[in-house]
Amino acid sequence: MEASALLFRRGCHSESCSILPVMKRTHYVADLRPQHAGQTVTLAGWVNRVRDFPGQYFVILRDRSGIVQVTVEQDNPAYSVAGELKAEYVVEVTGTVRERGEAQRTDAYPTGGIEIVPSEIRLLNRAATPAFQVDGSPINVGEDIRLKFRYLDLRRREMQDVLRLRSRVQAEITRFLDGEGFVNVETPMLTRSTPEGARDFLVPSRLSQGEFYALPQSPQLFKQLLMIAGLDRYFQFARCFRDEDLRADRQPDFTQLDMEMSFVELDDVLELNEALLRHVFQAVLNVELPSPFPRISYREAMDRYGSDKPDLRFEHALSDVTALFQGGDFKAFAEAGTVKAMVAPDLTRKQIDELERVAKQNGAKGLGWVKRTPEGFSGGIGKFVAGVADALIGATGVQEGQTLLFSAGEWRPAVEALGAVRNALRDMFDLAADGPRFHISWVTEFPQLDQDPETGTWTYMHHPFTAPHPDDVALFGTPRQGEIRAQAYDLVLNGFEVGGGSIRIHDPEVQAKMFGAIGFTEAAAREKFGFFLDALSSGTPPHGGIAWGFDRLIMLMSGASNIREVIAFPKNNRGLDLMALAPSPVDDAQLAEVGVQVRLPAE
Amino acid sequence: MEASALLFRRGCHSESCSILPVMKRTHYVADLRPQHAGQTVTLAGWVNRVRDFPGQYFVILRDRSGIVQVTVEQDNPAYSVAGELKAEYVVEVTGTVRERGEAQRTDAYPTGGIEIVPSEIRLLNRAATPAFQVDGSPINVGEDIRLKFRYLDLRRREMQDVLRLRSRVQAEITRFLDGEGFVNVETPMLTRSTPEGARDFLVPSRLSQGEFYALPQSPQLFKQLLMIAGLDRYFQFARCFRDEDLRADRQPDFTQLDMEMSFVELDDVLELNEALLRHVFQAVLNVELPSPFPRISYREAMDRYGSDKPDLRFEHALSDVTALFQGGDFKAFAEAGTVKAMVAPDLTRKQIDELERVAKQNGAKGLGWVKRTPEGFSGGIGKFVAGVADALIGATGVQEGQTLLFSAGEWRPAVEALGAVRNALRDMFDLAADGPRFHISWVTEFPQLDQDPETGTWTYMHHPFTAPHPDDVALFGTPRQGEIRAQAYDLVLNGFEVGGGSIRIHDPEVQAKMFGAIGFTEAAAREKFGFFLDALSSGTPPHGGIAWGFDRLIMLMSGASNIREVIAFPKNNRGLDLMALAPSPVDDAQLAEVGVQVRLPAE
């Protein structure tokens, strides 16, 4: 991982930065270099591997910083101990640093220029034969085995690097926000169940039997309460809980960086977050992010990239070709509200089939395609586009040998299907590889309201306290209320939403319009939000904030393949802790104390 | 609170330290001084109070930094808006800073030398009449009302200061430990219920119906697993949950600063913690703590102060006078294993009765007392001590006019009862007032094992993985195993335990001895600790750590009277959130989804 070098520099990987004697250890192993030759050092760690040659053991010693070779010849007092060593034994080694000869030197690891000649090897602990190798060789067991023996899995370099990156990012965020006067406040973990939103995890109460706490889905209400309380600037690394069915990038509990600020406008929140992210990427990864971040409206993101979280490391924009087909013979396109086209490389039939599958999974009826030939277009829907070939080339810039892909239908499903195909194309051809390592942007001007296409019912897009754009307030209650733009924003990194937030409503009149638009009577609003409405009427300042999906951010910063790789002890995708074996049955007496009993559905 | 000045300096209370325009706000109010006279400023906050004089309004504006006076005369364009303002309205004020005349100046608050002459007052929000005043006048409602309207209560200066102190301490701890190479790791919140220890909070699982997660009582096993995993140094601000009956200084969930280190010995852990605490107290409170911290053994703490968490801000040590009474006529003392005496001021009968009540609550049969007179001793058990008067004066140093208090019995109840009386005496006479603001020390050499006085059964004192003192290992399994000293330590601040930890056992042979001593067969140990024993045998380094009771530490640092005062949204002592109204009943359908139903005890 590219992060390591910098982590080491900031962390405690040199003898000089520590105030601790750390037992007898004098160095982390990765600190040693040829210039230490002749020095006596004491190291401690795990036996990564032992190579046994006639009259010689090469013990590879590992600590969290890396590895170093301990060379033990037959006349060495530690020779017999070395003979007992096996993988994952814990040892303390005292010895002299010796520069290796030309022939023995290696660049395979940072300490490859030296070796340790021990005067003593203390065996601190033995180890059972590990369930799998953690010595740097490729991992050859499934994820379930890794999770069951997570304490072994975490010994691997990649896992250690991720956890240290995560820790460094937390520390830099804390440092920055503390310096900017943000107050870190811990909000309740045992709170009230709300019928809105995702499914709650429930905790039966012993002192109030028959009643339940809920674990927080987010600190949303509490952070707004802190602004009402005049804290002015708040942040927290908040554990949040949603009892949803799990996907590859979901966990039953997750961490968000939660922030809220008072007396701010949208630009203030965005600028603060940009400065924070620039600081973090610079300090931890030595990566410079742009200033300012690009902003793209929801409408443009959807129109050009078919996604409200577009991956902008590569272009392959969607072209709008609706007009070219209107009134034409090709009914499927002529009658569609929207026809979108996207240029792709020369695709095989198998690849096109695969992409069509993606389009259909994302709501399209099919995926139109043609190939540009020297003569015009051929294959797929070639005969239907012959009449508009020049215009199509003009609109899309498609070149000879390239494939052009189409989606058609209502605007939203049409753009979303082709947007999903765009991402699949990225994965198929590694299109993002030539782009920047990180592309970060804001998506803004989300709609305030969302309408159910079937029932026509209006609901909120973010949450009912999101402030509308001031210019659009007059549209509430009119047929055009779907056009109201919210003062909401998402932070998008490499095609993933890594944050989202909004300016909140502080004006009771605007709040009343908003409740009206989504069909809440005053009584219904009170029923749902209870005490929070009282709080809002007790002197609420203008305020707004954001929450970052912290696990996902770390996944992207570290290049990990899924969210479980950046969590020390994750659940698997059935919500199980395979190591500690949770959840588990409990005694009925324990349940009786908290006033519940098990009820299983009839077989 | 004395912390404020320093918090302000480090935080964002001056115009220069912020990167944010903060809406139109140019200053926090408490930054303004006579040298700003003539400057145009924009402020934002709450109306703390309005004083209405003929032709003049004095609007006291409050933000999180403090208050400032806005003076609005009849000819001012903002005069009519000022007339509308009420307590807790939210306003933005633009105006000119004016130095006050000699007669108007006040030292009552830091901006008392100036006032703001507004050019505009923008009313940003109205407020309902608050349930109680938060304008700096003494709070005149009960705690239940404060908790119900916590968003108002948190507007008060004292509460804001506590939350900012807490945040500053967290930030400084993070900065220090990050710099020392500690890795901040988030351990699981949904984990396995264990029959040991306190009562678990349970969370029914929906995906594995009939099974339950438990909320973590502490990350103890996980932090040891991280050492086994080779993380080397770990910390976390961990939320912990114990479903115990609540006392004044307990919450169902609480925060601990959790730490663990590998390849360390006891001194390493203590020195690291001392350096951290010195850094934090210096950076946040400008208080210098000693180096090194005093250490006192468990035995000495109990013998001298009758407590394993002695308040050392004052002396009033217990004197051992057992020998003086042995073989004498006073049967109650002659036959006692231990007789302790403590000097007190001249006490009234009422005070003695009160102290005797404390002694009895703490396991004593009574509280002996005498007064020293010019002739010797009188009152109470005077006639029984007449024969040893000189020796008693020599042993205790009691002066004429002072009272001498006694406890007698088995060693532990005798010292603990008089220790409790010592604390009661402190509260009665404010004995700690003349001592240092903070007295911090380590209590060390706790017993490894605890014996039930009735059954004779041995159990662990800390937990079964605590390492014994290496010199004492041979005592396991002998009649003297009660003398084995643990490598455990408590951090004691002003008579409160604010931290505790130990070096852990990493040697399987020592672990087997320990299990043997507390009567665990191998099968029983496996039944109780399951996968953790496998982990311990997979290459465990020497390691140890500590957990700080973070809420309690902040309570002591801030001078708050109880733990609820340092938590933003605490539960009351019946486990209720009086604001959000949690816990609450939930729909039966919601319970069915997670496979439980309510079972209430028969009336």
Q: What is the value of ipTM here, to two decimals?
A: 0.94
For residue B150, the chain A residue with the least C-alpha distance is A229
Q: Does any CB of chain B come closer than 8 Å to the CB of residue A590?
A: yes
Does the global pTM surpass 0.90? Answer: yes
The amino acid at A157: R
Per-residue pLDDT band at B225 (split at 50, 70, 90):
very high
Known binding residue A490? Answer is no
Distance between CA atoms of B579 and B590, rounded to whole angstroms?
23
Known binding residue B552? Answer is yes
CB A313 within 8 A of CB A494: yes
A534/B591 Cβ within 8 A: no
A449-451 and A403-409 beta bridge pairing: unpaired
Query: Mean pLDDT, chain B, as a whole number?
Result: 92
Q: Which is more confident, B3 or A508?
A: A508
Local structure of A330: helix, strand or coil? coil
B598/A596 Cβ within 8 A: yes
- Of A222, A218, A185, A188, which is closest to residue A200 (Cα–Cα)? A218
**Cis status, amide bond into B345, omega within 30 of 0:** no
Mean pLDDT of B314-331: 94
User: Which DSSP category does A192 fall into?
Assistant: -
Please name the residue ranges forming H helices in B464-521: 508-517
The percent of residues in chain B predicted with pLDDT above 90, rounded, is: 85
Sheet holding B338-344, edge to edge: B319-320, B338-344, B403-409, B368-373, B376-378
Local structure of A272: helix, strand or coil? helix
Local structure of A313: helix, strand or coil? coil
Mutate to test the interface with B, among A15, A538, A551, A597 (most CBs of B within 10 A): A538
Q: Which among B188, B272, B506 has CB closest to A125?
A: B506
Q: Does any CB of chain B come closer than 8 Å to the CB of residue A330?
A: no
pLDDT tens-digit readout, B485-506: 999 999 999 999 999 999 999 9
Which residues 6-35 in chain B show a CB within 8 A of chain A? Answer: 10-13, 17-23, 25
For residue B508, the chain A residue with the least C-alpha distance is A125
Q: What are phi and psi of B52, to 5 degrees?
A: -110, 110
Tell me the mean pLDDT per 10 residues along chain A, length 603. Answer: 32 40 77 95 97 96 97 97 97 97 93 97 96 94 96 97 98 97 98 84 96 96 97 98 82 97 94 97 98 97 98 97 93 94 97 97 94 93 93 96 96 96 98 96 96 87 90 92 96 98 93 90 84 94 97 97 96 94 94 93 68
Q: Does any CB of chain B come closer than 8 Å to the CB of residue A486?
A: no
| Residues of chain A neighbouring B590 (CB-CB closer than 8 A) | 193, 199-200, 202
Q: What are phi and psi of A177, to 5 degrees?
A: -70, -35
CB A488 within 8 A of CB A500: yes
Asked whether residue B2 carries a pLDDT value surpassing 50, the answer given is no
| Residues of chain B neighbouring A590 (CB-CB closer than 8 A) | 193, 199-200, 202
With 0-12 CB in 10 A as exposed, 13-18 as middle and 19+ as buried, what is B344? buried
**Domains, chain B:** 3-125 (2.40.50.140), 161-295+489-506+541-588 (3.30.930.10), 314-435 (3.30.1360.30)
Distance between CA atoms of B2 and B4, rounded to whole angstroms?
6
From residue B538, how far is each of A47, A135, A156, B225 by CA, in Å? 12, 14, 14, 10
Q: Does any CB of chain A come closer than 8 Å to the CB of residue B361?
A: no
The predicted structure's pLDDT at residue A20: 41
B160/A252 Cβ within 8 A: no
The CA-based dihedral angle spanning residues B326, B329, B333, B335, taken in that order and rounded to the nearest 10 degrees: 60
Per-residue pLDDT band at B586 (split at 50, 70, 90):
very high
The predicted structure's pLDDT at residue A119: 97
DSSP string, A116-153: EEEEEEEEEE--PPPSS--SSSPP-S-HHHHHHTHHHH
| Residues of chain B neighbouring A598 (CB-CB closer than 8 A) | 209-210, 595-596
The predicted structure's pLDDT at residue A461: 83
Distance between CA atoms of A552 and A440, rounded to whole angstroms?
14
User: Which DSSP category does A76 fall into?
Assistant: S
User: Which DSSP category does B512 fall into?
Assistant: H
Which residues 252-311 in chain A show a CB within 8 A of chain B? Answer: 252-253, 255, 263-265, 268, 271-272, 275
Per-residue pLDDT band at B603 (split at 50, 70, 90):
low
Exposure of B294 in the CB half-sphere (CA atoms within 13 A): 17
- Residue keyed to tokens 């002396």: B315
The CA-based dihedral angle spanning residues B141, B142, B148, B152, taken in that order and rounded to the nearest 10 degrees: 40
Put residue B358 in one of left, alpha, beta given phi > 0 → left and psi -120 to 50 → alpha: alpha
The amino acid at B318: L
Asked whether residue B62 carries a pLDDT value surpassing 80, the answer given is yes
- Residue keyed to tokens 């047929």: A479
pLDDT tens-digit readout, B528-550: 888 999 999 999 999 999 999 99
Known binding residue B135? Answer is no
Which residues 150-179 in chain A show a CB within 8 A of chain B? Answer: 150-155, 160, 163-164, 166-168, 170-171, 174-175, 178-179
pLDDT tens-digit readout, B115-173: 999 999 999 999 999 999 999 999 999 999 999 999 999 999 999 999 999 999 999 99
Q: Which is more confident, B422 or B11?
A: B422
Distance between CA atoms of A444 and A297, rounded to whole angstroms?
5
| Residues of chain A neighbouring B465 (CB-CB closer than 8 A) | none
